[in-house]
Amino acid sequence: MGKSLLASVPLALFGMATLAGTVHGQDARTLVVAADIWCPYNCEPHDENRGYLVDLLEEVFTPHGFAIEYRVMPWARALIEVERGLIDGVLGVVRGNQGGTLIGDEPVGRDETVLVVRRGEEFEYSRPDDLDDKAIGRIAGYSYDGLGPFDAYLAVRSYDSREIYVIHHDKPLESLLSMLQDGRIDVFPENRYVANHTIYRLGLYGAVSMLETGLGDDIFVAFAPNETGERKLAILDEGVRALKDSGRFADILSRYGIDESN
**pLDDT score recorded for residue 161:** 76
Tens digits of residue pLDDT in 33-77: 999 999 999 999 998 899 999 999 999 999 999 999 999 999 889
Identical fold, 6-109+219-254 and 111-216: yes
**No. of H helices and E strands in the chain?**
8, 8
- The count of other CB atoms within 10 Å of the CB of residue 105 is 10
Give the C-alpha separation, 253 to 262, whole Å: 13
Backbone CA torsion sign across 214, 220, 225, 231: negative
Q: What is the pLDDT of residue 100?
A: 83
Q: In terms of pLDDT, which residue wins out, 58 or 259?
A: 58
Mean pLDDT on 222-241: 96
DSSP letter at 42 equals B
**Helix ranges, 8-89 (H):** 11-14, 52-61, 75-83
pLDDT of amino acid 24: 44
**Any idea which of 58-67, 98-107, 150-159 has the lowest mean pLDDT?**
98-107
By C-alpha distance, which of 99, 220, 97 is closest to 147?
Answer: 97
Say whether pLDDT at 189 is over 70.
yes
Residue pair 257/40 in contact (Cβ under 8 Å)? The answer is yes
**pLDDT number for residue 2:** 59
Q: What is the mean pLDDT of residues 176-201?
A: 96
**134 against 262, higher pLDDT:** 134
In this prediction, residue 169 carries a pLDDT of 82
Over the stretch 20-35, which tens digit does the pLDDT of each residue have? 334 444 445 999 999 9
pLDDT value for 3: 55
Which residue, among 88, 77, 195, 188, has the nearest Cα to 139 in the 3D structure? Answer: 188
Q: What share of the chain is helix, strand, coil (3-state, %, to 5)?
A: 35, 25, 40
Specify the CATH architecture of the domain 6-109+219-254. Answer: 3-Layer(aba) Sandwich (3.40)
* Cα–Cα dist 241/97, whole Å: 23
Mean pLDDT of 102-130: 95
Greater confidence (120 vs 16) lies with 120
* % of the chain residues with pLDDT over 90: 72
Secondary structure (DSSP) of 180-221: HHHTS-SEEEEEHHHHHHHHHHTT-TTTEEEEEEEEEEEEEE
Task: Break the chain into its structural domains and give their ranges.
Answer: 6-109+219-254, 111-216
State the pLDDT at residue 237. Answer: 97
CATH topology of domain 111-216: D-Maltodextrin-Binding Protein; domain 2 (3.40.190)
Question: Residue 4 has what pLDDT?
Answer: 46
pLDDT higher than 80, residue 162: no
- Give me the chain's average pLDDT, please: 87
